[in-house]
Amino acid sequence: MKHVKTYHALTHDTSYGPITIEGPVPSNKLEDYYFHEELTAFRPAPKQFEAIKSIADFPEGRIIIARTKDTIIGYVTFLHPDPLERWSEFNMEDLIELGAIEVIPQYRGSKVASNLLLVALLDEFMENYIIISTEYYWHWDLDGTNLNIWEYRKVMEKMMAVGGLTPAPTDDPEIISHPANCLMVRIGKHVPKSSIEKFDKLRFLQRLQYRNMREGF
């Protein structure tokens, strides 16, 4: 599968002034900007910046950024699922994961995250993918937002819905380990039926493995 990437951008007005939301941005272009020191949800900012530059160079990798003139204040990543996760089990070329979305505290509530998703989906090639996001409550910034688990999930679902991702059932052990966790899914309009059927098996992999074991496979 050839992963086609088409650049899009928009200007988004906030109470702190206009920002640019653009992408997919290649690693050599990311080098032109400063990565804000408060983008630390996943690892220290310098290491996270190196991580997203690496993702930008993957064939399927996509980095959409929100920036002031010269500073990245938010981003979203898309890439194939981690090889150690169940979602890579069938090596589906048309399955990508929304791996991370982050905005610095100052700009939260300014609809930056939802606009990052909107820009990502301006690329028509995204209709060729099944997009997933695995949401675990222990990754959520409950302290920074002063929200409880269920309030945070409601906000998260509303934001993801802008990008067309909605909750989907699964028997993944980590997701079903807590009722607030969820799998979010968007199936592009050009995804073939064969991929949808394979993904449905992937969502209920434990059930499939149990059935195969009972049937002697």
User: What secondary structure does DSSP assign to 130-152, as a single string?
Assistant: EEEEEE-GGGS-HHHHT--HHHH
| CATH classification number, 8-215, choose in 3.40.1160.10, 2.30.30.220, 3.40.109.10, 3.40.630.30 | 3.40.630.30
pLDDT at 211 over 80: no
Domain assignments of the chain as residue spans, ordered by start: 8-215
**Average pLDDT over all residues of the chain:** 93
Which two three-digit tokens encode residue 85?
């996760």
Cα torsion through 36, 39, 44, 48, rounded to 10: -90
Phi, psi of 155, deg, nearest 5: -65, -45
Give the percent of the chain with pLDDT over 90: 87
Quote the distance between the C-alpha of residue 5 and its chain's center: 16
Q: For the whole model, what pTM was predicted? A: 0.93
Closest-CA residue to 33 (of 57, 3, 60, 66): 66
Q: In which band, very low, low, confident or very high, does the pLDDT at 192 lie, cut at 50, 70 and 90?
A: very high
Consecutive H or E run containing 103: strand 95-103
Q: In which band, very low, low, confident or very high, does the pLDDT at 107 lie, cut at 50, 70 and 90?
A: very high
pLDDT at 18: 97
pLDDT at 162 over 60: yes
Q: In which band, very low, low, confident or very high, does the pLDDT at 145 lie, cut at 50, 70 and 90?
A: confident
